[in-house]
Every structure is written in C-alpha cells, then in structure tokens.
C-alpha cells in the first residue's frame, strides 16, 4: 500500500463552512440543494493523490459542505484519546464493480426538457471525470411506471418469432442519444445493464402488462422461448446504435407479478419458475447468441428474499451455469439484517457477485415524493451503501437519474425522489444531498478496489468501509450519524404530540 491515503468523510455533524462553489438553496428540508444551469454547476473536479505522509479528505455535511477538500498530515505513533482507525490490507474481501443510476423514460424526458447547455451540465455531473464518474446505467426494457404510457417492443399478438419487434420512440429519440452522450463524456466504457418489467400482454396469463400475471405455458414452451428471444432482440437493436450491454437481469421484481395485484407493469416468477426459465430458455439462448459474455443477474427484487431465492436457482446445475450474479433492491431492508441475507448468500455462493440494482428515497407512503435538500435521505443512502458493501456487495445502482419536482413523470403516480431534480421552467436542476452521498462512493471507489479489514482503537458509532484501490492507495468512507437517532426520535415525538393536540382539540378537552 502506498503511504498516501485518500480519506473521504460523509458527516451530518461537522459544522464546516459551505463549499463556495455550491450555489446553495434551502427548501426547508434540513439542508440545501446545489443549483445548476446551462452556464454553471459546482463540480468536485479531477482528484489526485497527496504527497507521502499526507491524506486528503472530502467532506459533505448537513450544514452545507459538499465534497469540501482539505489535506492533512499523518501523525505516526500518536497517542491520546482520539479514535484511531487501522486498516488491515491482509484481510481481503470483495472487489468493487461500480455505482450508477437508471436511464428511465422519465429520466430521459426530464434531462431533455432542459436547454442543450443544461443537459450537458447534468450529464457531465454524473459521467465525466470532473463529475462523480458513474460507471453503471440501468436501462428498462420498454415501459415501466416511470414512463408516460404502457408499451413493449412486441405488441403484435401471436408474433412468436418477433418479426415485428421494434424499439420505441422513447428509446430511439430519448434514451439512446443520451446514453451515447454519456458514454462520450466518460473516461471509461459505461456498463449498461437492462431489466424488463413485463412481457407483451399476449404472452401473459392475465392478458395485461399490469397486475398479477406470469408467462403462459411452462418453461421450455413457446411463450417462454419467445420471451427469452425478446431479450436477445433488445441487445441486437441497441447494438445497432453502438451500445453494448454489460449485463441483464432476469426481470424486475418478479414477486410483484406473482404474489400481488400490482398497479403497474410486472411479470410474475417464483424462484422455481425463474430457475427453469433460465435453465431451459434464457440461459441457452443467451449463450448461443452474439452476446454470450453478457452477465445475467437473478432476482432483481428485495434483498429480504435472500438467501432462499438464490438457493432455489443456484442449487440447480443447469440454471446456475448461466448465472453470474444476484441483483437486489433496497426496499424493506430494515426487516431483515444484511448479515442474514447478503453475507449468508455470499458464503453459500461466493462465485456469484452481489449487486444492488435499485434504490430511491421518497418511495414510502409515510414519506412520499420529492424533498428538496433532505439530509435524512442522504444519510439513508450512505448508511445503506456502507451496510451493503460491508456485506460483500460489489456495486450499488440508484433509480432515476433525474425527475421533475413532482417526482415524475410516472403514469401511475408512483412519485419518488431522485439525486437530481429538474425545474425545466427555469432551465435549472438541483443536486440533492443524495447526489453527494453517491459521489462519496462512485468518485473514489474505482472498479477493482478491494474491501479490506479495519479496526478501531475504541468503540465508535461511526459507520466505516475501507478499501485498497488498484493504484495501492487507500480509501475510507466514513458516515457520522452520531445524534441522528435522537434527532429523528425527537421529530417523531413532535409529530405525535401535534397529533395528540389535534385529537384533544377535536374531543373538546
């Protein structure tokens, strides 16, 4: 390991000054957003290494700091009451693949609603060496809830050979041009991966894109083979635009179409039917296509389904031979500890990578939609990413790259939050605190960085994840949420007190 240490700090309590280059604006949600337009946007810039014996820190805080850079001197053999963090490079764990977000129809529409100059600024913030250097982009195959209409690429009933397979206007005129521009800005090839929400209605048991429904017939049958071929046709059509895909998932949230009457696009699979479809249809078709190196991830659903889902699919030799990794979402993560789900799955199947494929703030009915400047949500992001990474996860993908101020568009009004919020009426976009949470990981944890052991000189409530990068420099990502639990409890008590007061008033007491 080189002497130089790259030290990254994400904190909610250090009262450091706001970064001068962030054009800060408060909307009353705990912290600030950074306002960007066609001619100006704050940027972390290109990062280097300090001199031997020195370290760099990048601090973001509730008080308004955004990746504020400073340099310090290591104190060798220091003693005293200060917390000492020690890396142990001999304890080696998983290697990092990378971080990113999703180019949904909604994200593309919002980006394109800006002037060309503001579009370029936004894309640079995510993908350029001066930005936070996303390496992964999730691409929905046809429509999802973050679309303005329902469609697939093969809506002609009975077209089992997919002779009428055609990309949509949303692909050709929105997502594809933006992905090409993002790739041109990136210093390295982007890793695209695709997820499908629903098969064409005529292939499904319920005859609709939404609601509870699965593929007609059985794995190995014509409907299942057509659905597998649909994936190949998607890769072929995007390939005509010089866009290749690093990976695929076996389908977004398969339990949504199997166990619930979902209000938007879904396709149901049990772990058993997903296993058999991969073994008999998708796996062989992908392997014999022009895309045999495309990584296939199973599940693409909430991590509480692990390790059971992995056991069912990967215990079957025929299915397992076609699978590379396990994708999962962050919703309902608090129900089951990550050690039980993620670490257990890793130890059972260490040859398959774990990858977080979707997350967003504002999804809960108790805290729905956009909260401009919310620091709580930034901390939730950082906490979840650190928790995942410390339990053998190799990467983390956010949901929509950009949404409007309502948290859409979304045809079913399933509005959520995003790290970038667009206000097209003013030709500006707002970089949320969650954008900077993502930056503390995506900017500094290069592909191939390896998580290593860490110890502390005394008990600490800090959340820490430590790495050795391919250039032998070290990275620490530290989240300081000391006091945040009490603060959230206070907010909850205040809310309950207000409700009690309203109830008392209504009762006439």
The strand ranges marked E within 64-130 are 68-73, 85-95, 98-102
Query: Token digits for 116?
Result: 């060309």
Residues 6+ apart with CB under 8 A from 354: 94, 325, 326, 328, 342, 345, 346, 388, 391, 392, 393, 394
Q: For 154, phi and psi rounded to 5 degrees?
A: -145, 65
Query: Token digits for 250?
Result: 């076996």
Query: Token digits for 144?
Result: 């999802």
Cβ-contact 360, 370 below 8 angstroms: no
Cβ-contact 238, 293 below 8 angstroms: no
Bridge partners (DSSP) of residue 120 are none
Nearest residue to 402 via CA among 149, 145, 104, 169:
104
Give the Cα separation of 272 and 252 in Å (integer). 16
For the chain, the farthest-separated pair of C-alpha atoms sits apart, in whole angstroms, at 75
Q: Residue ranges of the alpha helices (H) in 390-458?
A: 433-442
Give the Cα separation of 312 and 314 in Å (integer). 6
Rg (CA), the chain: 23
Q: β-strands 474-480, 428-431: how paired? A: unpaired
* 358 annotated active-site: yes
Catalytic residue among 253, 258, 379, 463: 253
Cβ-contact 91, 44 below 8 angstroms: no
Catalytic residue among 170, 358, 379, 463: 358
For tokens 């129809």, what's the residue? Answer: 105
Catalytic residues: 253, 358
């Amino acid at each position: 390991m080189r002497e130089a240490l790259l030290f990254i700090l994400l904190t909610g309590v250090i009262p450091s000054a706001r970064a001068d280059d962030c054009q800060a604006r408060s909307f009353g949600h705990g912290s600030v957003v950074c306002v960007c337009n066609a001619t100006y946007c704050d940027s972390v810039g290109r990062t280097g290494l300090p001199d031997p014996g020195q370290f760099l820190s990048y601090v973001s805080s509730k008080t308004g700091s955004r990746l504020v850079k400073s340099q310090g001197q290591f104190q060798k053999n220091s003693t005293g009451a200060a917390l000492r963090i020690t890396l142990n490079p001999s304890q080696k764990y998983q290697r990092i693949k990378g971080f990113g977000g999703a180019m949904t129809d909604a994200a593309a529409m919002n980006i394109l609603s800006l002037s060309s100059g503001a579009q370029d600024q936004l894309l640079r913030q995510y993908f350029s060496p001066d930005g936070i250097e996303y390496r992964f982009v999730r691409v929905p195959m046809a429509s999802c809830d973050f679309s303005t209409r329902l469609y697939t690429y093969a809506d002609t009933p009975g077209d089992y050979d997919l002779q009428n397979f055609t990309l949509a206007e949303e692909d050709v005129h929105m997502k594809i041009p933006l992905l090409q521009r993002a790739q041109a800005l990136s210093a390295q090839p982007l890793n695209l991966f695709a997820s499908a929400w629903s098969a064409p209605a005529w292939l499904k048991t319920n005859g609709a894109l939404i609601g509870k429904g699965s593929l007609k017939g059985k794995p190995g049958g014509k409907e299942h083979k057509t659905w597998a071929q649909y994936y190949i046709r998607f890769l072929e059509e995007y390939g005509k635009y010089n866009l290749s895909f690093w990976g695929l998932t076996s389908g977004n949230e398969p339990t949504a179409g199997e166990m619930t009457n979902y209000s938007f696009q879904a396709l149901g699979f049990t772990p058993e039917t997903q296993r058999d479809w991969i073994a008999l249809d998708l796996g062989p078709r992908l392997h014999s296509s022009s895309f045999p190196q495309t990584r296939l991830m199973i599940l693409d659903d909430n991590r509480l389904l692990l390790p059971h889902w992995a056991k069912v699919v990967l215990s079957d030799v025929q299915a397992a031979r076609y699978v590379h990794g396990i994708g999962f979402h962050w919703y309902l993560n608090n129900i089951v500890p990550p050690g039980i789900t993620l670490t257990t799955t890793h130890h059972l199947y260490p040859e398959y990578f774990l990858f977080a494929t979707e997350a967003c703030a504002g999804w809960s009915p108790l805290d729905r939609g956009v909260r401009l400047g919310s620091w709580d949500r930034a901390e939730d992001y950082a906490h979840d990413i650190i928790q995942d990474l410390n339990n053998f996860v190799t990467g983390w993908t956010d949901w929509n790259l950009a949404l409007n101020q309502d948290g859409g568009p979304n045809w079913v009004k399933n509005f959520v939050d995003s790290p970038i919020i667009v206000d097209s009426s003013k030709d500006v976009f707002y970089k949320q605190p969650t954008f900077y949470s993502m930056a503390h990981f995506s900017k500094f944890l290069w592909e191939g960085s390896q998580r290593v052991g860490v110890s502390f000189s005394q008990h600490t409530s800090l959340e820490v994840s430590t790495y050795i990068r391919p250039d032998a420099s070290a990275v620490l990502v530290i989240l300081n949420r000391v006091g945040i639990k009490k603060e959230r409890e206070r907010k909850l008590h205040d809310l309950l007190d207000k409700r009690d007061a309203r109830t008392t008033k209504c009762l006439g007491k």
